[in-house]
Structure 1
Amino acid sequence: MSSNFGPHTTAEEAATVLANQIKGKNVLITGASPGSLGAEFARVVAKFGAGLIVITGRSKAKLEQAETAIKSQTPSANIRLLILDLESFAAVRAAADEVLNYPEPLHVLVNNAGIMAVDYRKTIDGYEAQFAVNHLAHFLFTARIFPKLRESNARIVNVSSLAHTYAPIRFNDPGFSNGEKYERWEAYGQSKTANILFSRELARRGVVSFSVHPGTIYTNLAHETPVEEMVKLGLFNEKGEPVDTETITWKTLGQGASTHIVAAFDESIIPQSGSYLVDGNVRDDLAVPHAKDMESAKKLWELSEQFVGEDFPLV
């Protein structure tokens, strides 16, 4: 990997280094509404000649906006829209069936969509929303489209966060006692730990996979998070504006999406499959012990199969 990648590297700069690996690749990224890391990733890979770019979201109108923005810069971009509602397993299965019918292979899956520190709610399937949307739905979607991914030895990237440090997987009570013991940041941390463990278990089972911390970026992810919660963490001032701290410097959208690019396309890191990336580099030293525990990774896989009601044997 280029030692030149760092916190200020933009997605376009990373893509310039990895241009040969991006050209002609077919990619699917979840969560690509305007102003998101997913939309920035899609814009950049389109500019660098990706073959097919599938962008997903709940709103067709927002996906069309993202498509228009990409094509305004790269008119030849081959964009396909996929409606994917991660709060419903039935909707996830329907979207996956659509993907399985694509005539083209898929080379990269980036599980990027998510919600952060929302008020307690359950999904239609009865699971705490952050765990369900950020992990379970992506687990199910990946499992369902895996036959297509396997055909092309596709790479799977799971977008995590430094917030994984907030909590391990609460195996005895992942749903916070139906909300009675709910703590929004602990729930977010649990879901981000799950993203890392999912990549580790995929790698253990022979699939090239990485998890990433994009950095602290002001995106639409924060829109459902109460401003006072961001103030409490020292990330916003009283006016609701992002502020830098001693330990956190806010990144631009382009800087945030750069690690997505590296995780998705850098061939030099394949021997380190399963690793956690930060600032465009493999940084497993920045993952806390509960996000490195392979017994937890295996246990989470089995719990996820149980919750979605399907086995994911990978063979």
Structure 2
Amino acid sequence: MTTAQQPLHSGFGASTTAEEVIKGVDLTGKVAIVTGGYSGIGLETARVLHGAGARIVVPARDVERARAAVADLPGTEVASMDLLDPASVDTFAGEFLASGRPLHILVNNAGIMATPLARDARGHEAQFAANHLGHFRLTTGLWPALVAAHGARVVVLSSRGIRFAGVDFDDLHFEHRPYEPFLAYGQSKTANALFAVELDRRGRAEGIRAFAVHPGRIIDTGLARHLDPAALRAAGALDAEGRPVLDPGRQLKTVGQGAATTVWCATSPQLDGLGGVYCENVDISPLLAPEDEAAWADGDTTPGVLSRAVDPDAAARLWEVSERLTA
């Protein structure tokens, strides 16, 4: 498999913060949409991009909560959108297009993790629907604005959850197999990574480049609310008092460190002319050798990405399936 998964040796690392990444970058006149941009990594991403001069738009399911969260970011717009509601996604995208603005940065950050079985109104499994299909619909709906930027970047939040599962094209929505929360989460995160691969292939001729990001394990963002604290302590992510353990070398990061790779992919000139890659620790991840994949999937924290998450054939198939599922 041909891939651009080659580290750049960017000069940054696991401990780098988003504030450090953005130094020297001027985003004056740029527009950025950040889904989930009112909590956790999303809020930190929005804050740092705003500080560099970007005009921020935050689509949110809870508009009042979002407005309160971004109150310290003057000029930030908040609009209603629910990734599990196709009509609301279409409305948000349509209203943005009607504003006539180009879209320079789209950060598909929002997501849910390891939730009990739920389905959207169309019967799609909720993690796949929210994490992938909702963002697929949003991105394709905003396509004219991305083209109008004459150099746009789309950042898709994946994660090391790719180790739990690939995309099961024969049973995407757990209609014929037992539902397991982390299996569904892994499928959605692999879909996120594959989405960036095919999005980049389709968009590069029009100046649209895409990147998938593993931000690290950030326990205090709310994403882990469905996880058992005892299991998190056993995994070394929480200490005996229930406080998050910080160890960037093991992917246990602060929110500022977690947002760093997103901000780098969205803004860094080091990535000019590149795209369709999976990134972590503020660099492009190396492609794991076949003999190393099993140990990595079992929890090895060495940087790397599984081949199934950057497979161009699977990415093209996923795009076609997603088009059908989102009509």
Change in Cα spacing, 1:209 to 1:240, as seen in structure 2 (3 Å) is same
Of 48, 57, 60, which residue of structure 2 is paired with 1:44?
Answer: 48
Partner of 2:209: 208
Stretches of structure 1 lacking an aligned partner (at least 5 in a row): 71-76, 310-315
Number of the residue aligned with 2:13:
6
User: Which residue of structure 2 aligns with residue 68 of structure 1?
Assistant: 71
Shift of 1:172: 0.5
Provide the C-alpha distance between the structure 2 equivalents of 1:266 and 1:37, rounded to a whole number of angstroms: 18
The amino acid that maps onto 1:63 is A
Which amino acid in 2 is paired with 1:32?
Answer: G
For residues 61 and 243 of structure 1, do their structure 2 counterparts lie closer, same or farther at Cα, with a shift above 3 Å needed?
same
Q: 1:192 pairs with 189, 192, 195, which one?
A: 189
Structure 2: which amino acid aligns with 1:62? R
TM-score (structure 1 length as normaliser): 0.88
Q: Deviations over 1:280-306 (max 9, x none)?
A: 111142110111211100110011011
Q: 2:119 aligns to what?
A: 122
TM-score, normalised to structure 2, is 0.85
- Higher helix proportion (structure 1 or 2): 1
- Amino acid corresponding to residue 104 of structure 1 in structure 2: R
Cα distance between partner residues in 2 of 1:301 and 1:133: 16
In structure 2, the partner of 1:259 is 261
Residue 36 of structure 2 aligns with an amino acid whose one-letter code is G
CA distance in 1, matches of 2:134, 2:279: 22
How many residues were matched structurally? 298
Q: Deviations over 1:137-177 (max 9, x none)?
A: 00001111111111113211101101112111011011112
Cα distance between partner residues in 2 of 1:248 and 1:159? 19
- Which of 39, 55, 58 is matched with 1:55 structurally? 58
Equivalent residue letter for 1:307: L
Percent identical: 38
Show the 5 A alignment for 1:263-282: 263-282=265-284
Instruction: Give the secondary structure class of the aligned counterpart of 1:115.
Output: coil
Q: 2:169 aligns with which of 165, 168, 171?
A: 171
Asked if 1:288 is matched to 2:306, the reply is: yes
> Kindly tell me: are residues 228 and 125 of structure 1, through their superposed partners in 2, closer, same or farther at Cα, counting changes over 3 Å?
farther
Deviations 1:18-62 (A, max 9, x none): x13x3331100100223x111111111111211x11012111111
Separation (CA, whole Å) in 2 of partners of 1:7 and 1:250: 9
Does the aligned pair in 2 maintain the 1:234–1:245 contact within 8 Å?
A: no
